[in-house]
Structure 1
Amino acid sequence: MNFLKYGVQWRSRPGWKSDVSAQFNVRMPERLIEDQLGRGRNLRSICVIAVSCLMVTGLWIAGQAYADPVEEGGMESWPGFRGEGNSRTKLENLPLSWTDQKGVAWRSRLEGFGQSSPVVWGKRIYVTSTGGDRKEHLFLECFELVSGKRIWKQQIAAAEQVEKVTNMISQGAPTPVAGPQGVYCFFESGDLVAFDHEGRRRWMRKLTKEFGQFEGGHGVGSSLVGAPGRLLLLIDHDGPSYLLCLDRKSGKTVWKSDRQSRVSWTTPLYLDNGGGAQVVISSNGALEGYRFSDGKRIWWLENIKRNTVASPSSDGKIVVIGSSSPRQCLAVRLGGEGDISKTHLEWRAESATSSFCSPLVHRGIVYFINRAGTLQAQASSDGSQRWEYRLPDGCWASPLAAGDRIYFFCKNGKALVLDAKGDQPRVLAENEISVGEDDKVYGYAVARNRFILRIGREIIGIGP
């Protein structure tokens, strides 16, 4: 891709690839972005935290538990990218209608610009951003959930810097993870930092210093993933790629699985459905499952085209992935070993494609949204198309399932709520809030019957 054609000034040394699963701020034509990311150069080839005050010994090692999902004080927390990784919530009294004048509880300005989603633990929101002409400043901010008031801010000096920030490079794209011991942040500079809930630093690692700089054309996009006592991070890029598992408490490496070089921006999915915990990765040419205990690759499906953006989703029985190419959106049945192409491939969608947001699996339907904003609903049993519907705009934030409702947050601030019970699309509400002309809704969190939307320099609380 000729970056100079678009006025991009960027140092070509290794260091940056792009978030697209977590949505980055690109103002060049989106079709061109998608084409470039899709090609990607396929190279060489908690449980609900059952603390419930069961602190019989007076000390519970909270760092060994994972919110799956978490409920604190009756408020469901939202601990990571897409919540638990599947864009679903148990909360069913979420707002149905809102405007700028009615239903917006607060809007809070951020220190920097970012494309990550906010996360929530208890009564606090955590959100990351970057600042400076070379993304030399990294920020983590903590806000009150009810009021939107900032509680504290931490600033970190980036381990690596870009030559110049442009709209072609992700900015604060990876979403953090929140848990009982605090919040964990990963930045595209390679900085991985843990803070407690009062903003005190617990540990820090600089992955680019340890394992080499990130090589690629658009920055880094894969978000941290929370798992019991662990953190997971996928680094797929033009250089030596890997899946990393770390101990939450100490930040030390538990295991590291080296991977073939490939450029991708997806986030892994942690699954434990009783058949053994695993880490599922959909990334540029392959869908793979790794054993959570030791990082060994246990199953794979290869020869997939342009699955570089959307992250995988699951209902516990199947895993669904999105792609920007026809017949590449597909589902596999869990439980396979080795090459599963002839044993566990359930279906391929005939016409559905997926763009920046990830698919959603809910109540027997898989929802895909293409680049133009067309929503395509497929039967999760066989992949047949049930219906399609044109949304008000494209979506970079993934759709959300909340009981009988499906929420779609379009990039231009419009939102659509559909009935999840019907055989055909039935609109329950259409909403809109103002975002800047060159800005987008990048992501959201859900807690205390409230949405927290993320645009570049702002978070917005919607609900009571």
Structure 2
Amino acid sequence: MKKLIAILALGLSAGAGMSADPALAWPQFRGPNGSGIAEGQKPPVEFGPNKNVKWKVAVPSGFSSPIVAGDNLVLTAFEDGKLYTIAYNRATGKEAWRAEAPAKQIEPFHKTEGSPAASTPVTDGTRIISYFGSCGVFCYNLSGKELWRHEMPTVSTPFDFGTGVSPILADGVVVLVRDENKDPKILTIDAATGTLIWVKKRESKSAFCTPVVSDTPAGKQIIVPGYGRMIGYDFKTGDEKWTVIGMPAAACTTPVVADGTLFFAGWAPGDDVKLPSFDALLKESGDEKLGYITRDGLEKTPLKGFFDNQDFDHDGKLTRAEWDEALRIVSASKNSAFALKLGGSGDVTKSHVLWKQTKGLPYVPSGIVCEGQFVLVKDGGLVTAYDTKTGKAIYEQERAVANGRYYSSPVAANGHIYFACLDNGAITVLKAGADDPEVVARNPKLNERVAATPVIADNALYVRTAGFLYAFAEKKK
């Protein structure tokens, strides 16, 4: 039932030791190339509140993951009604600097499942780019000095869930997808000057996933899942080059490219989840005489706490028309995991999809390609691994990691994959590439929510919880 409630709110976020280029050890959401993999790193597999803690520091609220930028870890945060980009020293955890992103209005967001600081920054080793749905894109140098800003109006997301997408950088260009109610678009900005390069309108309003940039036989492209379809855009012009039809109603997961093949897996409610009719919801609320559902009435239903997300026009009434619109969005969901051969044009749904599966699909956490397997985790601690070449299930929906919900995406290093549970911060480590889910370590709970994807650098695992940033590293003997 908790999963259903969260779904509706969405409408539905290097060598060993210091790398040779520490500024790019983990430069964006999900690390190098958005892969979730830290080559050459050896973070600990056993850790917890009282084990292998290098340092721990209190941090303001936010769902964004840290990135590695120079000597610091950098994240976005929300504190006392203000938005910040904050840097913490990698060696000590001490705050190095913070820069406010002034917003005239904070975007609407769900108070427990969303955040106005959900977007992970990105760096090219010289600059740090942060995005806030409330006010736009901000560029800083490694010392926190603002270099430029590209201001944008406050975003309006489906069901007022809040922003989920993160910016990415490629060839000196910032790429941002802004799927929202009023003016969905994709745009690119010159990272050196802040000048807008191109902007293209999108049809998708309900998507929360970060794009990926990849070289293809047809040139460099930006690949973006969204409502109804995945689109490949020409990197230089923004022209649509190809499309795959059939996406989750609210795409939350990010694609990954490995060996010239794109992998994607995502789920949102559709035919596999039967939502109540308006009449059934109205009866359960006790508001039948009114003909609409009140805030107090909704508190008597499984949608308790989600009135503002369903009351689209914020008039204090959840009407039949509003609920029918929610059902319409949900009914369009097409869920799957698939591998796609890059380089096609037009509708490549039938011509370039190499394989497709429908089990073990994740809701929020993105899949990871590791040692020939496409590994997925879904709520309940269920893990699935598909062979990247054939799509054959190696194992399917095995209850291998901590039971609970999952928002953060799995990350990997040194032959191990790390899975962080949203509800209590329990992190399970599995052996990568195994024929069955082989548990390496079941670490104790951190006793806080972990929505942010962990970071691997400096032979350490950096984990952001609801109130702290941890550095876990093996103690030197």
Equivalent AA in structure 1 for residue 94 of structure 2? K
Give 1:61's aligned residue.
none
Instruction: Summarize deviations over 1:336-389 as a string: whole Å, max 9, x none.
Output: 111102210112113221111001112221111122220111111232211132
Matched position secondary structure for 1:32: helix
**Under a length normalisation based on structure 2, what TM-score does the superposition of the two structures give?**
0.78
Confirm or deny: 8 A CA contact 1:315 1:362 kept in the other structure.
no
**How far has the Cα of 1:162 moved from its partner?**
4.6
**How far has the Cα of 1:396 moved from its partner?**
1.4
**How far has the Cα of 1:103 moved from its partner?**
0.4
Confirm or deny: 8 A CA contact 1:268 1:279 kept in the other structure.
yes
Matched position secondary structure for 1:346: strand
* Alignment counterpart, residue 406 of structure 1, candidates 417, 422, 431: 417
Confirm or deny: 8 A CA contact 2:455 2:462 kept in the other structure.
yes
Give 2:224's aligned residue.
281
Equivalent AA in structure 1 for residue 409 of structure 2? S
Equivalent AA in structure 1 for residue 238 of structure 2? G
Matched position secondary structure for 2:6: helix
Q: Return the structure number with greater helix share.
A: 2
Instruction: Summarize deviations over 1:284-303 as a string: whole Å, max 9, x none.
Output: 22111111111111010113
* Alignment counterpart, residue 335 of structure 1, candidates 315, 319, 343: 343
In structure 2, the CA distance between the partners of 1:75 and 1:433, relative to structure 1 (3 Å rule), is farther
* Alignment counterpart, residue 184 of structure 2, candidates 216, 241, 244: 241
**How far has the Cα of 1:140 moved from its partner?**
1.4
In structure 2, the CA distance between the partners of 1:178 and 1:74, relative to structure 1 (3 Å rule), is closer
In structure 2, the CA distance between the partners of 1:287 and 1:163, relative to structure 1 (3 Å rule), is closer
Structure 2 Cα separation of the partners of residues 401 and 446 of structure 1: 8
* Alignment counterpart, residue 419 of structure 1, candidates 421, 424, 431: 431
Kindly indicate whether residue 467 of structure 2 is the aligned counterpart of residue 457 of structure 1.
yes
* Alignment counterpart, residue 140 of structure 1, candidates 77, 82, 85: 85
Matched position secondary structure for 1:361: strand
Structure 2 Cα separation of the partners of residues 229 and 184 of structure 1: 11
Confirm or deny: 8 A CA contact 1:239 1:261 kept in the other structure.
no
Deviates more, 1:396-405 or 1:142-151: 396-405
Kindly indicate whether residue 243 of structure 2 is the aligned counterpart of residue 232 of structure 1.
no
Give 1:123's aligned residue.
71
Instruction: Summarize deviations over 1:82-108 as a string: whole Å, max 9, x none.
Output: 112111111332212112222011111
Give 1:3's aligned residue.
none
Structure 1 Cα separation of the partners of residues 455 and 360 of structure 2: 27
Give 1:53's aligned residue.
none
Give 2:324's aligned residue.
none
**Under a length normalisation based on structure 1, what TM-score does the superposition of the two structures give?**
0.81
**How far has the Cα of 1:226 moved from its partner?**
1.4
Equivalent AA in structure 2 for residue 442 of structure 1? A
Give 2:323's aligned residue.
none
In structure 2, the CA distance between the partners of 1:206 and 1:409, relative to structure 1 (3 Å rule), is same
**How far has the Cα of 1:463 moved from its partner?**
0.7
Give 2:234's aligned residue.
291
Matched position secondary structure for 2:266: coil
* Alignment counterpart, residue 430 of structure 1, candidates 442, 451, 455: 442
Gaps of 5+ in 1: 1-27, 41-47, 49-69
Question: Identity over aligned residues, as a percent?
Answer: 24
Give 2:458's aligned residue.
448
Give 1:302's aligned residue.
245
Structure 1 Cα separation of the partners of residues 246 and 434 of structure 2: 35
Give 1:96's aligned residue.
45
Matched position secondary structure for 2:262: strand
Kindly indicate whether residue 388 of structure 2 is the aligned counterpart of residue 380 of structure 1.
yes
Confirm or deny: 8 A CA contact 1:77 1:122 kept in the other structure.
no
Instruction: Summarize deviations over 1:215-242 as a string: whole Å, max 9, x none.
Output: 4321111001111101110011122211
Kindly indicate whether residue 32 of structure 2 is the aligned counterpart of residue 32 of structure 1.
no
Matched position secondary structure for 2:91: coil
Equivalent residue runs for 1:14-93 within 5 Å: 29-37=2-10, 40=12, 71-72=19-20, 77-83=25-31, 84-93=33-42
Confirm or deny: 8 A CA contact 1:443 1:455 kept in the other structure.
no
Structure 2 Cα separation of the partners of residues 304 and 351 of structure 1: 15
Structure 2 Cα separation of the partners of residues 243 and 162 of structure 1: 19
Structure 2 Cα separation of the partners of residues 370 and 85 of structure 1: 19
Confirm or deny: 8 A CA contact 1:169 1:218 kept in the other structure.
yes
Larger radius of gyration: 2
Instruction: Summarize deviations over 1:16-37 as a string: whole Å, max 9, x none.
Output: xxxxxxxxxxxx9232212453
Equivalent residue runs for 1:339-354 within 5 Å: 339-354=347-362
Give 1:220's aligned residue.
163
Equivalent AA in structure 1 for residue 156 of structure 2? F
Instruction: Summarize deviations over 1:164-187 as a string: whole Å, max 9, x none.
Output: 873354231000012222211111
Give 1:365's aligned residue.
373
